[in-house]
Amino acid sequence: MNLLEQKFTPETWPEHPETYTQEGKNKFIGFWLFLAGETVLFASLFATYLALKDSVPNSDHALAADIYSLELVFIMTAILLTSSLTSVYAIYHMRNYNFKQMQLWFFITVLLGLSFLALEIYEFTHYVYEYSFTFGSSAFSSAYYTLVGTHGAHVCFGLGWITALIIRNQKRGLNLYNAPKYYVASLYWHFIDLVWVFIFSVVYLMGMLG
Amino acid sequence: MSTIAVRKSFLSTVWEYLTTVDHKKIAHLYLGAGGFFFLLGGLEALFIRIQLMKPQNNFVNEQLFNELMTMHGTTMIFLAAMPLLFAYMNAVVPLQIGARDVAFPFLNALGFWLFFWGGIFLNLSWFLGGAPDAGWTSYASLSLASEGHGIDFYTLGIQISGFGTLMSGINFLATIITMRAPGMSFMRMPLFTWTTFIASSLILMAFPPLTISVFYLIFDRLFNSAIFDVTLGGNTIIWEHFFWIFGHPEVYILILPAFGIFSEIIPTFSRKRLFGYSSMVFATILIGFLGFMVWAHHMFTTGLGNVANAIFAVATMAIAVPTGIKIFNWLLTMWGGSIKITVPMIWALGFIPSFVMGGVTGVMQGIAPLDYQLHDTYFIVAHFHYVIIGGVVFAIFAAAHFYWPKMFGKMLSEKLGYVTFAFFFVGFHMTFFVQHFLGLMGMPRRVATFLPGQGLDLYNFISSLGAILMTIGVIVLLVNIVITSMSKQQVANDPWGDGRTIEWALPSPPPYYNFKQLPLVRGQDTWWLEKMEGNKELPPAEPLQDIHMPKGSILPFFIALGLFIAGFGAMYNPLNQVGDGHPMGTVVLIFGLAMTFGTMLLRSLRDDLGYYIPKEELEDDDAKGGKVS
């Protein structure tokens, strides 16, 4: 009788399981609203970064064009964009009630996210040790690390979230209780990806070329 | 879950409130905690006025004065006005739209506990080395130089309670979008629901900039970053921009629900439909939109240049148009109505002229050249107290009397209500009217004292006397609440007799599931409509069936507590600017965050499917008169 725990087959599975129940609908709307707030949050970070770009105490301090390496950032971008695609596959399989495939593609998404994170950690340590570009060395570095670091923290949280979903539901499969959860996690992942596209353009491309 | 009403022990009541996810109980929590902070902020205001009662007074020293005025502003805005409005939103909005609860009951509880722990954190500064002392705006140029941990209590406390506010905002938005009863279209929603909706969207857009700028200040003071450090290339104006991009919408976050409350009270006691409903909705949306376009009018003297000042001046004055629409709509609602004077109505009648005065001085300050004269004087203090007390606090008091029977099943005493109004209204105008002239004479705000013989003595004395009258008014209200709580009365569904919206069709207080059957909404002023057709209750939109309810949980309490603990860790981490850091600080920070995220994980891993109230039990309640505690 509890709709949330009912077992389905691919035939009876609703077309949009994420918004089939009232709880799902609430989550869907609520999460989009949350993302609106997150957009303003990142907009504030971007604005500060642009205001403080290359704002350093003295001429010895590294500037944007000195430190960024487009090769590394290109690889990171490719990885993260691909992870967005794999999460789309996962949701595609969720809609078709193909639980195993969905889990697999979410797992691949997590792996890609992890490799992105590893590269970002490498990038940060590289800046710190090669260029003494630390969190507190200038207003520019503070703004940079806060912006890119906040994005990194979001990636971290997203990885933990999706991993928890994968492990928690491994045994019981899809139902109308966890489908909205997977769905909003994938929305979150897309959002992180979108923010990265802006970081790539505004921070790195404009940093090197602008 | 049992619905049997038994005498509960004190501890089980405490446990019930700690774990509740019921919007009506959360409303009680907001009312209690917000009321407590309101008294605290009021006490601070009283001390300020005692200090300024006579020239060169030494009731408090300069440092303590700075702390008092900072904490007064911060407490009143973040910990009193907003939570008290949240109390009424929680109590009323789900009922007004015909919903059984908000969209995210768990999040609702979490929002409260974050606000609560954030408020406690901020106020612990009094006992742990001194309160923040850089004003409620905490401009970075000033706050970075502040000694001790006062500012850190401010930033971390605001951050924690700000998360809670953001969550509540999202929650109300989602609730109003998805949970409206059949027939309750957007253009049939009561005005209080509409203003809650718009205020919530302002919260959603305005709080993230605050979050970011507060993070910058936390990082600069505690983790060695340099966003505002001019010697390392930083810029303190960034703080001013972000603070006011948040701060100006914030005043509309406060005033719009207040407008909503008066838009409920005035038609109720004029026994006449709200005049110009759709223009009211339109004006609300327009005020919300324009609210984001005017932040730099707080910064006319910062030096942004004439073009920027001119643009923001024009935008500022434009806000007077939708606000004026509202004022005239209220007047025209009363025009030709059959007006009944009650305590809520008398507050509404006091509100209109008081708020208009605040609005007029607001437009005066919008004139940028004039603002160079008025900036940082008591004229500003007079202006924003006229809009915030004359608008928001009057609304909070009006709503306390208006909704008390719906929230607690008892009527506050009318007589004492009038006494409160008389003292508070007279005291309010006494305190702040003369401050206009003090400001025009050049008395600067936020200064601990003034010299004798400058023509400031008398007005300051009058102002302080007014503050005492306001205090008496509040004390009378407290007495009223105590007396009422001890009385054994039990009011009916519609104790005012003229209720117009859905909440008045329900028992006072409503059963925990609100509606046995979700109501069918056949028009605006839903309950009035049914009453006029002779119906005793709202028509149901669904057959009597099992009701799905969310389960209570203690987890929100611990998620919020984790951030409270992490706050202390961050404050005393080894990198902090004050230099009293300890490696244990980092450990505590990690422990606190682990507690928060661990509890969130626990919440995520454990299924929360809620529970069902069986149909039979509902029918049983019916037989007992529908009264369930």
Of B513, B439, B422, which is closest to residue B473 (Cα–Cα)? B422
Contacts of B170 in chain A (CB under 8 A): 30, 33-34, 37
Residue B7 clears pLDDT 80, i.e. is over it: no
State the pLDDT at residue B3. Answer: 45
Predicted ipTM of the assembly: 0.95
Best mutation target among A23, A49, A150 (most B Cβ atoms within 10 Å) is A23
Helix axes B237-270, B394-408, angle to 10 degrees: 60
Residue B109 clears pLDDT 80, i.e. is over it: yes
Of B144, B228, B219, B131, which is closest to residue B573 (Cα–Cα)? B219
Which residues are CB-neighbours of B519 under 8 A, at least 6 positions away? B98, B181, B502, B505, B526, B538, B539, B540, B541
Q: Between B5 and B26, whose confidence is greater?
A: B26
Burial string for A12-40 (b: 16+ CB within 10 Å, else e) reads: ebeeebbbbbebbbbbbbbbbbbebbbbb
Contacts of A4 in chain B (CB under 8 A): 609
Confidence of residue B623 (pLDDT cuts 50, 70, 90): low
**Beta strand residue intervals within B427-546, DSSP E:** none
Residue in A52, A160, A161 closest to B227 by CB = A52
The answer to which of A10-14, B14-18, B116-120, B520-524 has the lowest mean pLDDT is A10-14
Q: How far is B208 from chain A (nearest CA, A)?
A: 5
Which residue of chain B comes nearest to A145, CA vs CA? B225
| Count of alpha carbons within 13 angstroms of residue B350, beta-carbon side | 29
State the pLDDT at residue B579. Answer: 87
Best mutation target among A22, A29, A42, A150 (most B Cβ atoms within 10 Å) is A29
Contacts of A57 in chain B (CB under 8 A): 231-233
State the pLDDT at residue B622. Answer: 64
* For range A141-160, the mean pLDDT: 97
Q: Does some domain include residue A6?
A: no
Instruction: Give the separation between CA B332 and CA B519, rounded to whole angstroms.
Output: 31
Instruction: Give the separation between CA B247 and CA B268, rounded to whole angstroms.
Output: 33
* For range A173-192, the mean pLDDT: 94
Confidence of residue B628 (pLDDT cuts 50, 70, 90): very low
Contacts of B212 in chain A (CB under 8 A): 41, 44-45, 48
Confidence of residue B524 (pLDDT cuts 50, 70, 90): very high
* For range B317-340, the mean pLDDT: 96
Instruction: Give the separation between CA A76 and CA A120, rounded to whole angstroms.
Output: 8
Residue in B166, B205, B226 closest to A138 by CB = B226
The predicted-structure confidence for B179-221, as pLDDT tens digits, reads as follows 999 999 999 999 999 999 999 999 999 999 999 999 999 999 9
Contacts of B208 in chain A (CB under 8 A): 37-38, 40-41, 44
State the pLDDT at residue B6. Answer: 55
Tokens of B369: 């050249």
* For range B330-344, the mean pLDDT: 96
Confidence of residue B608 (pLDDT cuts 50, 70, 90): confident
CATH classification of the domain holding A130: 1.20.120.80
The predicted-structure confidence for B558-606, as pLDDT tens digits, reads as follows 999 999 999 999 999 999 988 899 999 999 999 999 999 999 999 998 8
A171 to chain B, any CB pair closer than 8 A? The answer is no
Residue in B171, B234, B242 closest to A139 by CB = B234
Which residue of chain B comes nearest to A38, CA vs CA? B208
CB atoms within 10 A of CB B5: 10
Helices vs strands, H then E, count in chain A: 7, 0
Helices vs strands, H then E, count in chain B: 22, 2
A110 to chain B, any CB pair closer than 8 A? The answer is no
Of B72, B51, B54, B73, which is closest to residue B62 (Cα–Cα)? B51
3-state SS string over B231-286?
HHCCCCHHHHHHHHHHHHHHHHHHHHHHHHHHHHHHHHHHCCCCCCHHHHHHHHHH
Contacts of B233 in chain A (CB under 8 A): 52, 55-57, 138-140
Residue A1 clears pLDDT 50, i.e. is over it: no
- Which domain range does residue A154 map to? 64-209
Q: Does some domain include residue A54?
A: no
Exposed / middle / buried, residue B233 (Cβ in 10 Å: 0-12, 13-18, 19+): buried
Average pLDDT of every residue of chain A: 94
Residue B461 clears pLDDT 80, i.e. is over it: yes
Q: Does some domain include residue A38?
A: no
- In single-letter form, the type of residue at position B279 comes to S
CA-CA-CA-CA torsion sign (B307, B309, B310, B315): positive
| Residue B358 backbone dihedrals phi, psi, to 5 degrees | -65, -35
Of B408, B603, B549, B556, which is closest to residue B18 (Cα–Cα)? B556
Residue in B103, B227, B601 closest to A26 by CB = B103
Of B316, B180, B345, B198, which is closest to residue B257 (Cα–Cα)? B198
SS3 label, residue B398 = helix
Tokens of B177: 């979008």
Alpha-carbon distances, residue B512 vs A45, B8, B26 (angstroms): 43, 16, 12
Confidence of residue B1 (pLDDT cuts 50, 70, 90): very low
Percent of chain B with pLDDT over 90: 93
A141 to chain B, any CB pair closer than 8 A? The answer is yes
Query: What count of CB pairs under 8 Å joins A to B?
Result: 120
| Contact present, A145 and B239 (Cβ < 8 Å) | no
DSSP structural state of residue B448: S
Instruction: Give the separation between CA B599 and CA B604, rounded to whole angstroms.
Output: 9
The predicted-structure confidence for A39-66, as pLDDT tens digits, reads as follows 999 999 999 999 999 999 999 999 999 9
- In the block, residue with structure tokens 């207003």: A139
CB atoms within 10 A of CB B620: 12
Contacts of A34 in chain B (CB under 8 A): 170
Which residues are CB-neighbours of B9 under 8 A, at least 6 positions away? none
- Cβ separation A37–B173 shorter than 8 A: no
Which residues are CB-neighbours of B453 under 8 A, at least 6 positions away? B55
Instruction: Give the separation between CA B132 and CA B273, rounded to whole angstroms.
Output: 47
* DSSP H or E segment with residue B611: strand B611-613
* For range B246-259, the mean pLDDT: 96
Of B465, B351, B399, which is closest to residue B35 (Cα–Cα)? B399
State the pLDDT at residue B190. Answer: 97
**Beta strand residue intervals within B509-610, DSSP E:** 547-549
Which residue of chain A comes nearest to B174, CA vs CA? A30
- Cβ separation B225–A135 shorter than 8 A: yes
A164 to chain B, any CB pair closer than 8 A? The answer is yes
Residue B615 clears pLDDT 90, i.e. is over it: no
Burial string for B249-260 (b: 16+ CB within 10 Å, else e) reads: bbbbbbbbbbbb
| Contact present, B205 and B213 (Cβ < 8 Å) | no
The predicted-structure confidence for B344-400, as pLDDT tens digits, reads as follows 999 999 999 999 999 999 999 999 999 999 999 999 999 999 999 999 999 999 999
Best mutation target among B108, B163, B167, B170 (most A Cβ atoms within 10 Å) is B170
Class of CATH domain B10-528+537-553+608-623:
mainly alpha
State the pLDDT at residue B2. Answer: 44
Contacts of B210 in chain A (CB under 8 A): none
The predicted-structure confidence for B442-451, as pLDDT tens digits, reads as follows 999 999 999 9
* DSSP H or E segment with residue B613: strand B611-613
State the pLDDT at residue A75. Answer: 96
The predicted-structure confidence for B497-523, as pLDDT tens digits, reads as follows 999 999 999 999 999 999 999 999 999
Contacts of A145 in chain B (CB under 8 A): 225
Of A34, A184, A43, which is closest to residue B173 (Cα–Cα)? A34
Average pLDDT of every residue of chain B: 94
- Cβ separation B173–A177 shorter than 8 A: no
Residue in A33, A45, A143 closest to B173 by CB = A33
Percent of chain B with pLDDT over 70: 98
* For range B133-140, the mean pLDDT: 95
- Cβ separation B232–A139 shorter than 8 A: yes
Tokens of A84: 């967005």
The predicted-structure confidence for B262-292, as pLDDT tens digits, reads as follows 999 999 999 999 999 999 999 999 999 999 9
- Cβ separation B233–A4 shorter than 8 A: no
CB atoms within 10 A of CB B608: 17
Which residues are CB-neighbours of A114 under 8 A, at least 6 positions away? A159
DSSP structural state of residue A76: H
* DSSP H or E segment with residue B612: strand B611-613
A58 to chain B, any CB pair closer than 8 A? The answer is no
| Residue B612 backbone dihedrals phi, psi, to 5 degrees | -115, 135
- In the block, residue with structure tokens 């992180």: A192
- In single-letter form, the type of residue at position A74 comes to F
- Cβ separation B226–A142 shorter than 8 A: yes
A16 to chain B, any CB pair closer than 8 A? The answer is no
- B548: which strand partners? B612
- In single-letter form, the type of residue at position B188 comes to R
Instruction: Give the separation between CA A50 and CA A203, rounded to whole angstroms.
Output: 8
* For range B286-304, the mean pLDDT: 95
Instruction: Give the separation between CA B222 and CA B308, rounded to whole angstroms.
Output: 34
Tokens of B360: 């007029």
